Structures are given as structure tokens and as C-alpha cells.
Amino acid sequence: MASQVNHSIGPKRATWTHIALCVKDIDASIAWYQRFTHLRLLSRGEDKDGKNAWLGDADASVESPFVLVIGQFFEGHDPFAPAAHPPMGPFAHIGIEAPTKAEVDDIAAKAKAEGCLALGPVQMHKQIGYVCFIKDPDGNTIEYSYDQGVYEKARDVWGAEKETV
């Protein structure tokens, strides 16, 4: 017997769901993100205006998924035209925290070998940690960090608040 899925169930409150980027070649972007990040293809679509894909973390919570949406408009079908779609950067970025400093070094070495390393790896002050910045095929910036403290801070602040409720 097939299980029934209730597709009308959404979040219980407003929540982050995605970041969307315009890309020139969706297949190249999917391949790049799957090569350089932990993101995997979740969904793919196409309509008269273009192609889209959702990339996500298969190990993330299904209760509050967060995905990277990429879209490629067909020639003459960009609803935002004539506005340009500039890449995110040099500081604006998508941040990924690595579990080890060695993983940041490995990503930086791989990016350097493929010509997409933008900065680092370098040790910054405590709130930034050990980082490298890489560029996707469209020039968007992706930061890999180690020991940045995002998870630690969230657990300290919000974990303590939940314990006192």
C-alpha cells in the first residue's frame, strides 16, 4: 500500500527556504556545485521560459530544508530583462562551514587547480575563522570556513533560550 503524502503541509512559521541564482548554463552549474560542495540535485524543471534546478543537502532536516535554486532563462524569456543578473560577490557569498581545516585546504587546492579560487585559504579573526572563497561558473562567491562559530553561537543563544522555556 502506497503511503499518502500531504503536500499542503508547510512550515509552522516563516522560515528560510532557498537562495536563487541566475546561471548561464544550468548543466555546468549543477556539475560544479556537485563537484565543489555537498549539495546534490533535488529537483529539475523546464518550462517555456527556461530551466531550473534545486540543489540541497540530503542530510539536512526535512522539517526545514534549505536549497540553492538555480535558473537559466531562455533567450528572450527573462522576465527581469533588460536588468542584468550580476554575480554575488566579492564579499556577498554563500557560506559553507567545513568540519575540519583540512577540508577547507582541500577545497582551496581543488579550486586553485581548476582556476576558481578567489581568496585563501587564510586565517581571519575568530568570528570569521579559517576561510577560502571560490567562484562558481557564473562568478558567484562560495565561502568555505572552519571554526567560524555559527553553530556554536546558535546553540549557545537559542539552545539556552529553549532550555529556560
What pLDDT does residue 67 have?
Answer: 95
What's this model's pTM, rounded to 2 decimal places?
A: 0.86
Walk along the chain (165 residues) in steps of 10 and give the mean pLDDT of each run. Answer: 53 86 98 96 97 94 88 97 94 95 98 97 93 98 93 84 58
**Rounded Cα–Cα distance for residues 70 and 22 (Å):** 6
What pLDDT does residue 106 have?
Answer: 98
What pLDDT does residue 22 have?
Answer: 97
Burial 8-40 (b: 16+ CB within 10 A, else e): eeeeeeeeeeeeebbbeebeebbebbeebbebe
Please list, in sequence order, all residues whose beta carbon lies within 8 angstroms of the beta carbon of residue 142, skipping any fewer than 6 positions away. 36, 37, 93, 94, 95, 96, 133, 134, 135, 136
The dihedral sign for the CA sequence 128, 130, 136, 138: positive
Domains of the chain with bracketed CATH: 15-85 (3.10.180.10), 86-165 (3.10.180.10)
